[in-house]
Amino acid sequence: MKILLVEDNSRLSDDIRQFLEEDGFIVAQAENFALAREKLDLYQYDAVIIDIGLPDGSGLDLIPLIREMESDTGILIVTARNAVEDKVAGLNRGADDYLTKPFHKAELIARVRSILRRHKSSRNNVLQFNNLQIDTAASQVYIGEKTLKLTRKEYDLLLYFMYNPNRLLTKENIAEHLWGDHIDQADNFDFVYNHIKNLRKKIVNAGGENYIHAMYGMGYKFSETS
């Protein structure tokens, strides 16, 4: 289990790191917003612990970045005492839980374990289509033995297709499924096309076949042949 710890107080960060490592976690540290962002771009983590008050930005702004990039990373925010609005903002933006400073280290471990458990048990199933496989418990996609790294939207899109093979899915179906109430019905759904294009490219580049077929003017079908 790999954890990214974003905390600018180096003494506190080292303490937490040691405690987590004693508990068997692999810990990476970032002491500011820029470093955290860089690491999140390069590596995948099972959970991220974020101190809200960072010298070069608000830890809150890391949450949407993580939610966009990673399919299933747990997020625990650490807030100053009495910063109620930070907690609310953090949870609204997609954090799983929060911890108020000062906290007992055992409490931190308990929260981290609870978040990881929730993420792993939220679904558990393996979907297979030819050499394409999704482990929904781990939110991992494989082409043969190879792991396919997808954005959250691409992952959701692929999952939707895998649940509905050989069926015509309209752009409206897809947009509604992936964006829910957030989409404007008046939109022309070009963004759906862009996500599909990227997903298709990643699958083909990793050695898969093109299973996503455009049905001109109607939508898309996920199948072996068009």
Residues contributing to the site for Ca ion (CB under 5 A) = 8, 51, 53
The closest residue (CB) to Ca ion is: 53
Distance, in Å, from the CA atom of 62 to the CA atom of 48, rounded to the nearest integer, reads 10
Residue number, 60 or 134, with CB nearest to Ca ion: 60
Q: How far is the CB of 51 from Ca ion (least distance, A)?
A: 4
Q: How far is the CB of 37 from Ca ion (least distance, A)?
A: 16
Residue number, 46 or 86, with CB nearest to Ca ion: 86
Q: How far is the CB of 223 from Ca ion (least distance, A)?
A: 51
The stretches of 43-183 forming alpha helices (DSSP H) are 62-69, 84-92, 105-121, 152-163, 171-179
Identify the three-state secondary structure at position 29.
Answer: strand
Q: How many of the other CB atoms lie within 10 Å of CB of 89?
A: 17
Residue number, 52 or 192, with CB nearest to Ca ion: 52
Distance, in Å, from the CA atom of 168 to the CA atom of 55, rounded to the nearest integer, reads 50
Residue number, 7 or 154, with CB nearest to Ca ion: 7
2-6 sheet: strands from edge to edge? 26-30, 2-6, 47-51, 74-79, 97-100
219-222 sheet: strands from edge to edge? 168-169, 219-222, 212-215
Q: How far is the CB of 62 from Ca ion (least distance, A)?
A: 13
Could you tell me which of 49, 38, 110, 41 has the C-alpha nearest to residue 76? 49
Residue number, 31 or 46, with CB nearest to Ca ion: 31
Q: How far is the CB of 78 from Ca ion (least distance, A)?
A: 8
For 92-97, the CB contacts below 8 A with 24+ separation are 93/60, 93/63, 93/64, 93/67, 94/63, 94/64, 94/66, 94/67, 95/50, 95/63
Q: How far is the CB of 9 from Ca ion (least distance, A)?
A: 6
Pairing of strands 26-30, 2-6: parallel
Residue number, 76 or 162, with CB nearest to Ca ion: 76
